[in-house]
Amino acid sequence: MAFYIERSLVEYTLIYVSLRINWIDRPLNKSLFETGFEELKEKIFESIHIVEMLCEVCGKPISVKEKSRGTTRILDRNDYGRLLNKGAIHDRAEVDLEKRKIWFYDHDFPGDIHPECLEKL
């Protein structure tokens, strides 16, 4: 009985630790479309374009291509409007207000297949 209690305490501790790690590692990203002008104004952001290469069979990512697209400065509502328009042409757009980064996500099917998906064919 004592052993059982001790063991579950250890398990709970592990769960607690892993929840905390997830919480710490959780990116502070927010959808660009949920970010107001007031939060972005008078700031300079680095734009990063991310293309997720998806498997032809399962549709899940095989690899990711990341490319910096320079910086974007938001001075007025016109800049903000241009940024939203830019975000709208991508799959999704996210902002990290602390790190001053904006990510634009897209996907591509380059004709690759996961080795494990190839085995299933």
Nearest distance, CB of residue 36 and Zn ion, angstroms: 38
| DSSP per position, the chain | -HHHHHHHHHHHHHHHHHHHHHHHHS---EEGGGS-HHHHTTEEEEEEEEEEEEPTTT--EEEEEEEEEEEEEE-SHHHHHHHHHHHHTSSEEEEETTTTEEEEEEEE--S---HHHHHH-
Kindly state whether residue 118 participates in binding Zn ion, applying the rule CB under 5 A. Answer: no
- Distance between CA atoms of residues 33 and 86, nearest Å: 11
Q: How many residues bind Zn ion (CB under 5 A)?
A: 5
The residue (of 9 and 58) whose beta carbon lies closer to Zn ion is 58
Instruction: Identify the residue among 32, 40, 54, 55 touching Zn ion (CB under 5 A).
Output: 55
The residue (of 15 and 118) whose beta carbon lies closer to Zn ion is 118
Kindly state whether residue 84 participates in binding Zn ion, applying the rule CB under 5 A. Answer: no
Instruction: Identify the residue among 57, 90, 97, 107 touching Zn ion (CB under 5 A).
Output: 57
Alpha helices in 26-112 (DSSP H): 37-40, 77-88
The residue (of 39 and 116) whose beta carbon lies closer to Zn ion is 116
Kindly state whether residue 100 participates in binding Zn ion, applying the rule CB under 5 A. Answer: no
Kindly state whether residue 58 participates in binding Zn ion, applying the rule CB under 5 A. Answer: yes
Positions touching Zn ion (CB under 5 A) are 55, 57-58, 114, 117
